Structure 1
Amino acid sequence: VRRKAYADHGIELVHEDPATSADAMPKDENETIADANSQDETAAPAAPVSRLLREGRSLPLTLVDPAPIPGKWQRLDLQLPTFEFGSDDEPATLKDKIDSYNARLTDTVASQIDAYVCGEAASLIWRDAHVSPADTVAEDAWIRAMSLIAGKPIDASRVVPDLSRIGIKVDRQQEFIDQTRMSFRITLDNRSSEPTPKDSQGRCNTIFGAGLLIEMPSAAHRPMRLDRVEPSYRFRDYFNYPAIGLNCGIATSKQDDAVQLVTTAAPRFEQPRIVARHIDVPCQFATLADPAFDVSVLGNLPNAYRAWTDEQERRLSGVATAGLDEADAKRETDRLRNDLDAMRNEARLVERGVELLITSREAATKPAANGRTDRETLERRAAPWRAWTMTNLAFSSRDRHDARSGWRLFQMAFILAHIPVFASRISDWRDYHDPVLDEDTASLLYFPTGGGKSEAFYGTLLFAMFLDRLRGKDRGITALIRYPLRLLTLQQAQRLLKLLMHAEMVRRRNQVGSWPFEIGFWVGNQNTPNRYAAFRSEIPMFGDPDHPDDTDLDGESGNDEARARGKRYVDALESYNKVPECPICRSPTGLRRDERDGPKGKRAAIVCFNSTCEWNTTNGLQTPLPFLLTDDTIYARAPAVVLGTIDKLAMIGQHTGTISKVLGMFGLARWIDQSGNLDTPRQEENLRGGPARDACLPAFPAYRGGQRVFFDPFPSLIVQDEAHLLEESLGTFSGIFDTLLDQVFDEVSKMAGDDLNVARQWTGDGWGAPRKPKIVAATATISGPDKQLETLYKRRPIRFPCRGPDIYHSFFSEPAAPPSGNEDRMALARTLPVHLAPEATTPWMRLYVSLMTNGATHTVTTVKVLAAFHAIITEAWDGLVAETKRSAAVGKLRAAVSEDAAGKWRRDAIDRAVDDDRHNDVVALVDLHRIALAYVTNKKGGDQIIDALGDAIEQQHRPLGRHLMPFDSRLISGGIDMKEIQSIMEDAQSSLVGIELPDIATTLRNIVATSAISHGVDVDRFNSMFFAGLPSDIAEYIQASSRVGRAHVGFVMLLPTPQNRRDRYVVETHDVFHRFLERMIAPPAVERWAENAIKRTLASHVQAWAMLREAREFLALGDDRKSSVTQMDQVGRFAAMARGDHVAFRDELGDFILRAIGFVGRGSTNFGAPHYGDFYRGLVEEQVDEFVRDMAARSMIAPLRDYWNDIPAFRPPMTSLRDVDEAGYIVAAGRDPLATGRSSNIDRGGLAAVMRAIRTQRGFGSELDADGGADG
């Protein structure tokens, strides 16, 4: 019966229907007994038709419902009439003209639409009809069905848009100040109603590609004045604006005697490339490293600088105040005078450095006349010259592949200006001590991103390192280098390591000192362990003959035990090897446990296994890279450079054991072993046994009879990179701990300054206070540095280099010259005014474009733009790779170039490449934009783009024959571990030019990124970037957009959030906005004197005071009584002092804290002291008094760390500068208490994976973990 029933509908059952044979299927034995408590199963069986479809059977067409015809939008270009009016028309006349034009406009639009609907396209107009499946079985049936539908009448109300309310509006207003000027507001307004959801299926009342072209006589056009922008002589030529758009940008052109203003939805700004100026001064490393070089030639630099400054003064004196009122003119006159003075002062500082080198070189070439004393004097005086030549020699060695490699002009000037800062630490050069430059100011190294700031302070650093070795500081810290972000810290550490290794090889060859140059990587144990003990046995010992390299440690070789150990080693290597490639020979490196120096000198070593590597051959045998991974190794070796995150400043107050070790690096180490490793034991048992029991020697001055280890142990340089990020709480705590570090130096100097040969200030008639480190703060985006540097360092800023007379020129930099082969471009540059030539003729650095969109959500718009961009790149790539399509692909690229004069230059360049058969150059250009960066202002937006991008890419690529094309898109955000970010950067950096070009589907195409990309992600192959909305901070926009265009032309597209008025305004003033980016940087929000911040740091100050007090008492004891020193980090000691003399204890501790937070200010003027001193003095005294009273009431015998875990008077010491709120801890467990299986043991492999993921997260709550332990 069933077969017959189906047959009546044309369905033949070939096999037994599965549903009818259910009884024949074996039942699960659990289903044979019904549950008395279960409900009756009443679920309906599956629909027969759907089952047939799943089984792939054919269906009769009579069972399928007809379907509506989907519409396809058709673009219709309209020819609109021109509207003419007089600027002086009477209001009534103007109104009549507007009304008449709008009526004509409506009629013109309607007639063109009607002509289209009723003309040849009538058969294509959409009808609300349906087609049946029978219409699709054959072409004839389909044509017949379409003919029938086309014969139906057109329902105009369903398909014809209602554009009857589109019109021009003209508003005009006479300017209040200048009655001869008239302001016009001209708009194209579409007031058509929104169609209903049903009507929107067939018609749309929106006009697309709309715009206005306004033409007027040149004599009639008066540019708008940006009156609300503060006047500035540097921007004086850019305050006029042709017009401001409304929901659009404006492009301007001149035709004969007329000016054309054209609206655009995608305004552009071509940012010119700024390059270093060249003057008649040698800057090549190899030249400057030559001992025979005539250093007096460098005097041409300050001489040229002064001459250039004089020329600018003559040129600007008559124009800087043009058009300004009296008040503004006075302010600009003063500003110009101050800037000129700053330029001349900068030239003088450079000149002093050159003069010192000239004199020093004379000493280096002068023979000693009176034996040893005279020779030692000459050596000291020759030290700056030798340090200068070796600095250049190290850079030359690093860049030996390029003989022309050298300093940029501002880099050399910066180094020369700071040579006296370091040389004046030598008594023979004390007259070069400048209290203002050396002590009272911080050098603000301010230059655009990618301009070479790092090289400038690297040069200063190397000079100071070599000079320290030459002046007698054979070991110890020369510089502290700090970064606010861990990714940036690691990248810069790897970059500096290469230079430092070359410097170390130069040091060895020149036999300067005995202790090697090393970098201490001072970060939290989310990056590297704080202690050597964390490195387990899976890491082979250094020199292990069974493992001369990592060949057998890949986790895949050997037996089960060997493979298991190899996997553990690979895990450790991935987690802790921060230098996976040798900086010298680029061979893979490995980890080893180096215990050759005994128990005090155990360290984790990164090793290059290449026996022919220059590093190993120079040292005579395989030698660990000079990169110290763990904190205990850093404290033991006191390396020349301590490089880490800014958060590590908290270590000088975090744990008493750690504080003692830090003090040990600064001259208070108590023991030193035979290999030179420092130690600061504090336990009575250790001290009673003495250093000899541990195979150590006592160190001076901790022991009066100890070995003299230290010479001026304080760092002479502190570098803070990306200083603009030190704002809000991070900047506040950084400033407080920086002055605590200053106070530590003062206290150590009081205890043993002369014993430690601490450098002192020369007052002209004697030695004064101890010299403090020179502060260099580097940034590319800053505003209001005076307040920030006062907060951070209690110093005034001195900017290097000084700003130039306009936004594109300074003594040290200028716009790049037009290409030498382009005569038209060079001629135009010569004829244009100096302020117009850069933007018109200079090669681009970045092309900024904004795209204003309406009618779609921001995410949808962003995704569509990204997909369209990638489709363009894919199409160009496929065409250029396929030889048969190459000519057409090049032609398409050429046709896409604009038709203006600048476009002709670029078309000619393409033609030259084709004529010279340089198709690979064209491919290389496309390859430079293969990877797009999509910047999102928050992670949620990034997730939305990632989710939607795949479908959009597929939609855009399907017409290109790229159906289901793989698309490699990655994510960079704060939650991505650093190793993965580095992997992304390595993949991106790989060029495909010069090899057989792969299928583009196999390459990296897209990176969605948050603000995590803005610092430290420097890849020359990032050249296209899309902003999904404007970042709230302009400095962030500058930093992020500078990821592209570093070496090649960068393309930056801003996709403003339509509902955000600020974003829309950027589009309306696009070129002015991007030209004035520097002026719109917000001053850092930072305040040292925040009451809660001071309270939060009190515990750290208490512990620093305690360890300094203990060190002072230790020094006062005789060498044979050191074990009797009282440990100050005991609650009992504090309680005894509080009960013994409450007032004296309170006053001593309170006075230390006030000085450590910067209460007294700097220098004779007390610069940086708080304005309301009584309040802050009272605050500290009240808090300290409460602490002392609390201690007096304590009777517990416990270390101070236990007190902080109890109910202390203060919050516990900060573990990092971001430790503002209460912290939580993630601790690995060995057992799972919620396990339901037979075993509750945790899988060690899974646990390792989880902890590795946690360890490598780039968290922003804390950049490092707490130190601890009895000895820190």
Structure 2
Amino acid sequence: MNVDKGQPLMEACDRFVTWLDRRVVAAGRGDGLQRLEVAPSGTFWLGRLSRLVGKDEDAGGANDDRSDRLDPCAMGIRLRPAESPPWSMTVTVRARAWVKDPKDGPEPDRPWWRTGLVEEKIPVVIGAAGGTFGAKQLQDAFSAVGASGLSAEVRVEVEDWHKQPELVVQLVNTSPKPGRGLTDPHLYETQLEVAGLLTVPFELEALPDTFRYDRKVPAYGINVGVEVVAPGVFRTTDTVSVQTFRPEYWNSDRPKPDLSFARLAADPIPVLTDLVDALDEYDQKHWSVAALDARQLADGWSDAMRAEADGSAALVFDELARLRTGLDLVRTHPEIRRSFQLMNEAIGLSAKGRGYRSWRAFQVGFLLSAIRFLAEPAEEADHVDTVWFATGGGKTETYLGLLLTAAFFDRLTGKRTGVTAWSRFPLRLLSLQQTQRFADALAGAELVRQQQEDLRRTAPFSLGFLVGQAGTPNKIVPKPENDETGPDSPGMPDKYQVLLNCPFCRDERLTMKFDRKRWKLEHHCTNQACPWKRGALPIYVVDQEVFRFLPTVVVGTLDKAASIGLQQAMRGLIGPPQKMCSEEWHGFTYSTRSKSPNGCLVPDCQGTLLELPMPDERFGPSLRLQDELHLLRDSLGAVDSHYESLLDHLQHKLCGTRAKIVASSATLTGYDHQVKILYRRDGRVFPQPGPRAGESFWSLPEDTKLRRFVAVAPRGVTLEHVSDRTLDALQRCVREMLDDPARVCAEAGIDPNHAEELISIYGTDVVYGSTLYDVEAAGRSLGSNNTVDGINVEQLTGQTDFDEVRDILERLENPEEKFEDRIHVIAASSMLSHGVDVNRLNTMVMLGLPLTTAEFIQTTARVGRRYPGLVYVLHKIGRERDAQTFRHFDKYVSQGDRFVDAIPITRRSRRVLALTLPGVVAARVLMLKEPASKQRLSTPAKLRQYAHDAGLTPADEAAAVTEVLGLDGPEDSLHQQQIVEWVREWFADLHDTASKARFIGEIGSPSPMTSLRDVEAQAPIHD
């Protein structure tokens, strides 16, 4: 192949991916091999056809639908003819065979040999009854290449299930059982081609009609893929390959405005005006009544499709109006304008050296659309703004921009300290890379804050890491017991390093220290040139330190919200703490306990209490950020919906405000219903989808390739075998490039100057399993069944230790110098699919289709983030869903968002209510009643006395809880009764002096949840 010297790297990557795919498919089909040591039927998984089992042989379900998919005896094409019968066409059959030599053959160590190609053109003319063709012609052809005994035929069946004739054209392997010289009855490297038939396309039934998408499918493959190679010519393919392309983030006839951080920090108004005017022009061009009239006429829309388009247009123009409002606020509101400018300066600092200096248009668009909440927080709190964009498009950076704008606005308007945003992620283990992004952005903001004369007296911008015992300690105690952590516990302090590098200078030379005087677990940067000169980095990774210092932004797992019913110090995340400790670096204080008699969380503190530095109402967070909204479903979503209502209730009681909720999601399907259930708010999404699939004002596909998806339906062998062989082939290819770059580059058409970089870019493969069992099995199998020596496999799952995750990410980002020392395969579960961004992960093998399309979208987005990616989806073809998806895989990828199921969620579950009621009641005691009482209410006796003195009644508490959870409608009578009965029993237990309850969490049953995922294990609230 001709090689262009000076070839761009992206083109070299594209050609290398093509070469890799060709090699993997060859390994699955047997292309290029001439002899084998072992039977080909146990080796190849593509292009093969088993023999048709006769009725007299049928046993155990042979040739049923599932068996036909697992090891098919036929493959072909389903077509819809455009004319009435008779129909005529030419069917071309291509195939090979493998034959075994006798024991005294020329190569006894490799007795299996591959025949020449059989290629036969078979004329077909049929009426409504169908027929069989070419049996004698194909049998003679196989005999001619040395495969006597093999037989096949072309079968054409006519079906009219949809009141329109469909032709099913198949190649069927009719060979007999092995014997009499026939050693292997399989056909190999099979292909079928149909030409000369005038057809009309199918319409994809899995999706509804819509004005944005094309549902037309020219033909369906049967146990294969199918491609249109020329007008009226259809050919089967052993895999289904779908290419996606990178988006261009500007789709306007106007020049793209300068959205650089520096320009927006200096003078944002002209640039923002240009952006909004360009959007206005685009919307008028594509969404006006006249534009929709023209499209309806041209595309033949139905009335329903036009109504859908009109509804979408209304949402688009509402979005435009929000951007106009945001622009006006930046122009006219001094604090908002300055906050926006300082945010851009901060993001510019955090982005230095990372290869980008500018926003994408949709990111600035979202900031303008959402910024109104700063000026009108009460009204805007009624809406949840969801960022919806392709994974890898920059959603995280987008809401980081909003978060920093809110943080600066808080400081400029009198909030001197405390939490601006609480950001929660739905996975059990928070991504360290996501945490690093937050730290980097806040470090940029802190450097900017230090330069502002009027902000220097406010607290430094800081980050809190709130994940609990699974990642970092809940607290550090002088004398640890059981699972508690002490200053000298094993692994302390190094195992709790959260940052991958210093957010201020990017230096990786971080050290961990525990400061006994300040009772703080600290990250320190050892770079003498680091711009941070204040000792420990401003990040808090112990739960109690988060409560003591109330960092500007708290990131954590969704589960920790349950602690609101367990830990009184959680109050600082939704309202004011009690006081401040007079001792330096002890921070805020909360209700007194036996181990904190003055309310300070530092052990043995003797300090006195000081007044808070600002009014109570300023302590409530401005924002709650929810990442991966689509994962809040089923029981997790139901439980969270109750705790979201509880957080709103407590913040409103303590501060008179509610936080603005901002979310990101991988799907739009049913988002409005989900938001209504979760938050009891209206949902808004940004950006609105464009007038056509994949195209809007904010983006359109460009020519640069993003990912190649390859659907594989393994035949006759296990999925594990195919996974092993695929990874083996990928690793072998990279090692060939390492050993003989000149030959490989010449073969692939690549400039040899790129060889070393390609080895790094494609040298680490991902094998992804939806279950922990699949992941562990893949790791074990690969270690024992590959033909390439020295494959280093690591696992990334929810079970992987925290410090090991950090080490693996470090090795992936900065690989060892020698290839043999590097990680070659990552066996990963769903942990990988959220927030793991490594540019060196560009090939993936997926073990079966994930259970949800959202998981498929999120997971495959982990590869090919910077360079062209290659994803093999190994379908568990015996499963009906996998089989159906394989059939329309092209549409599944290109219109993936339409295949995402609506999120199953409800807040009206009596089982969920039974789990959440104890936490709701306990939280109201801890957060509201205890501070109001000016005394400790952690024991039943003290709470009982307070209830008597304050006149608390079961009826009043039940009514309050019913209102908190929004279960006060006429359809909620059973839930209301359940609340009344449980609260009545709770009060009875409270007033029972013979009760064994020692702490308020032990009153009633069950105890408050320790985690939002908790369905069995409960824990008491200790004194």
1:867-882 map, 5 Å: 867-880=728-741
Give, as a single letter, the amino acid of the residue that structure 1 aligns with 2:328. E
Q: Distance in 2 between matches of 1:685 and 1:843?
A: 61
Aligned to 1:167: 153
Structure-2 separation of matches of 1:1010 and 1:689: 42
Residue 214, structure 1, aligned to residue 194, structure 2: yes
Q: Partners of 1:341 and 1:499 in 2: how far apart?
A: 35
Q: Which residue of 2 aligns with 1:73?
A: 112
Change (3 A) 1:632 1:949: closer
Per the alignment, residue 690 of structure 2 pairs with 804
* SS class of match (1:606): strand
Q: Which residue of 2 aligns with 1:50?
A: none
Q: Structure 1, unaligned stretches of length 5 or more?
A: 1-64, 117-159, 361-381, 426-432, 537-564, 617-621, 701-706, 750-769, 817-841, 881-885, 895-909, 914-918, 958-964, 1115-1121, 1161-1169, 1224-1265
Contact 2:568 2:590 (8 Å CA) reproduced: no
3-state SS of paired residue (1:1085) = coil
Distance 1:665 1:732, change over 3 A: closer
Counterpart in 2 of 1:626?
A: 538
Task: Say if 1:398 and 1:660 are closer, same or farther in 2 by CA, change over 3 A.
Answer: closer
RMSD: 3.2
Shift of residue 971, structure 1, vs aligned partner: 2.1
Choose from 801, 809, 816 the match for 1:977. Answer: 801
Contact 1:747 1:1108 in 2 (8 A): no
What's 2:623 paired with? 717
**Residue 91 to residue 623, structure 1, CA distance change in 2 (3 Å):** closer
Instruction: Report the CA distance between 1:934 and its aligned residue.
Output: 1.4
Shift of 1:323: 7.0
The farther-off stretch of 273-282 and 1076-1085 is 273-282
Q: CA separation in 2, counterparts of 1:710 and 1:1189?
A: 34
Q: Which residue of 2 aligns with 1:1173?
A: 972
| Alignment partner of 1:309 out of 283, 294, 301 | 283
The superposition leaves residues 312-369 of structure 1 with CA deviations (integer Å, 9 ceiling, x where unpaired) of: 12444333587778xxx33322221121111111111111111112123xxxxxxxxx
Shift of 1:1113: 3.4
Residue 602 of structure 1 is matched in structure 2 by: 519
In the aligned structure 2, how far is the partner of 1:721 from the partner of 1:1183?
33
Alignment of 1:795-834 (within 5 A): 795-816=681-702
Distance 1:589 1:315, change over 3 A: same
Describe the SS at the equivalent of 1:1007: strand
Q: Considering fraction of residues, name the structure with more helix.
A: 1
Q: Is the 8 A contact 2:345 2:448 kept in 1?
A: yes
SS in 2 for 1:488: coil
Equivalent residues of 1:305, 1:811 under 8 A apart: yes
Alignment counterpart, residue 233 of structure 1, candidates 208, 211, 215: 211
Q: Bigger shift: 1133-1142 or 1036-1045?
A: 1133-1142
Partner of 1:636: 548
CA contact 2:389–2:395 (8 Å) conserved in 1: yes
Task: Give the Cα separation in 2 of the matches to 1:588 and 1:1141.
Answer: 56
Query: Are the counterparts in 2 of residues 1135 and 1193 from structure 1 also a CA contact under 8 Å?
Result: no
Quick one: structure 1 residues 728 and 665, their matched pair in 2 at CA, closer, same or farther if it must change by over 3 Å? closer
- Please point out which of 562, 583, 589 is paired with 1:679: 589
Selected match of 2:234 from 229, 237, 261? 261
Q: TM-score, normalised by structure 1?
A: 0.67
727, 742, 749: which one pairs with 2:648? 742
1:652 aligns with 2:564: yes
Conservation of the 8 A alpha-carbon contact between 1:535 and 1:604 = no
* Residue in structure 2 matched with residue 1213 of structure 1 by the alignment: 1008
The 1-side partners of 2:478 and 2:558 are apart by: 24
1:472 pairs with one of 399, 409, 414 = 414
Question: Match of 1:572, SS?
Answer: coil
Partner of 1:945: 778
Q: Tell me what 1:319 maps to.
A: 295
The 2-side partners of 1:233 and 1:646 are apart by 37
Give the direction of change, closer, same or farther, for the CA distance of 1:1059–1:176 in structure 2 (3 Å limit): closer
Would the alpha carbon gap of residues 595 and 90 (structure 1) be closer, same or farther in structure 2, given more than 3 Å must change?
A: closer
Which amino acid is 1:514 matched to?
T
Which of 890, 895, 898 in structure 1 is aligned with 2:745? 890
Alpha-carbon separation, structure 2, partners of 1:1107 and 1:628: 24
Match of 1:247 among 201, 214, 223: 223
Query: What is the DSSP-based 3-state SS (H/G/I as helix, E as strand, rest coil) of the residue aligned with 1:448?
Result: coil
> How many angstroms does 1:1112 deviate by?
5.7
Alpha-carbon distance in 1 for matches of 2:599, 2:589: 14
In structure 2, the residue corresponding to 1:272 is in which secondary structure?
Answer: strand
Distance 1:684 1:935 in 2: 49
1:517 aligns with 2:466: no
**1:1188-1218: per-residue Cα shift (whole Å, max 9, x none)?**
23333334596424x71xxx53201111111
Cα-to-partner distance string for 1:562-597 (whole Å, 9 max, x where unaligned): xxx99x79922332121253222314122233366x
Deviation string, structure 1 residues 75-119 (Cα, Å, up to 9, x no partner):
112333311234xx5458x64xx45x3222223322x04xx4xxx
Which residues of 2 match residues 546-565 of structure 1 at below 5 A? none
Residue range with higher mean Cα deviation, 409-418 or 602-611: 602-611
Matches within 5 A, 1:1254-1269: 1269=1022
Contact 1:1020/1:1048 (CA < 8 Å) preserved in 2? yes
Letter in 2 for 1:472: G
How far, CA to CA, are the matches of 2:783 and 2:542 in structure 1?
A: 43
Counterpart residue identity of residue 1184, structure 1: V
- Whichever residue aligns with residue 1130 of structure 1, its letter is T
Higher mean alpha-carbon deviation, 506-515 vs 716-725, is at 506-515
2:869 match? 1050
Listed as ranges, the matches of 1:384-533 within 5 Å are 384-401=336-353, 405-424=357-376, 435=379, 438-511=380-453, 512=455, 513-533=457-477
Change (3 A) 1:1022 1:176: closer
Match of 1:223 in 2: 201
Q: Which residue of 2 aligns with 1:666?
A: 575
**1:168-193: CA deviations, max 9, x gaps?**
10112468656xxx421100011324
Q: TM-score, normalised by structure 2?
A: 0.83
* Amino acid in structure 2 at the alignment position of 1:736: H
Corresponding residue SS for 1:233: coil
Q: Contact 1:477–1:642 (CA<8 Å) still a contact in 2? A: yes
Question: Is the Cα contact below 8 Å between 2:565 and 2:926 reproduced in 1?
Answer: no
* Cα distance in structure 2, aligned partners of 1:589 and 1:1192: 54
Deviations 1:283-309 (A, max 9, x none): 10011112xx26144122222212111
Native 8 Å contact 1:783 1:1081 kept in 2: yes
Residues 953 and 660 from structure 1, CA distance in 2 versus in 1: closer, same or farther, beyond 3 angstroms?
Answer: closer
Residue type at the aligned position of 1:669: Q
User: Matched residues in 2 for 1:588 and 1:1034: separation?
Assistant: 40
Q: Confirm or deny: 8 A CA contact 1:276 1:409 kept in the other structure.
A: yes
Unmatched tracts of structure 2, length 5 or more: 1-102, 481-485
User: 1:373-430: CA deviations, max 9, x gaps?
Assistant: xxxxxxxxx22222111111111112234796111111111112222211335xxxxx
1:845-994 alignment to 2 at 5 Å? 845-880=706-741, 886=742, 888-894=743-749, 910=750, 913=751, 919-954=752-787, 957=788, 965-990=789-814
Q: Which residue of 2 aligns with 1:1154?
A: 962
CA distance in 2, matches of 1:84, 1:343: 54
What amino acid is aligned across from residue 744 of structure 1 in structure 2? Answer: L
- 2:305 paired with 1:339: no
CA distance in structure 2 between the partners assigned to 1:1035 and 1:688 by the alignment = 49
Residue 572 (structure 1) aligns with: 492
Shift of 1:532: 3.7
2:264/2:271 contact within 8 Å kept: no
CA–CA distance in 2 between the matches of 1:685 and 1:952?
A: 57
* CA-CA distance at 1:1048 after TM superposition: 0.8
Matches within 5 A, 1:1231-1270: 1269-1270=1022-1023
Cα displacement (A) at 1:221: 2.5
| Equivalent residue runs for 1:104-183 within 5 Å | 104-110=137-143, 112-113=144-145, 116=146, 162-164=149-151, 166-173=152-159, 182-183=165-166
What amino acid is the match of 2:278? A
Q: How has the CA–CA distance of structure 1 residues 1109 and 1030 changed in structure 2, closer, same or farther, with 3 Å as cutoff?
A: closer
2:316 partner amino acid: M
Query: Which residue does 1:1167 correspond to in 2?
Result: none
What is the CA–CA distance in structure 1 between the aligned matches of 2:309 and 2:718, rounded to whole Å? 48
Post-superposition Cα deviations, 1:8-40, rounded to whole Å, max 9, x if no partner, equal xxxxxxxxxxxxxxxxxxxxxxxxxxxxxxxxx
Deviation at 1:494, TM superposition (A): 1.8
The separation in 2 between residues aligned to 1:624 and 1:866, in whole angstroms, is 44
Change (3 A) 1:479 1:663: closer
Aligned to 2:885: 1066
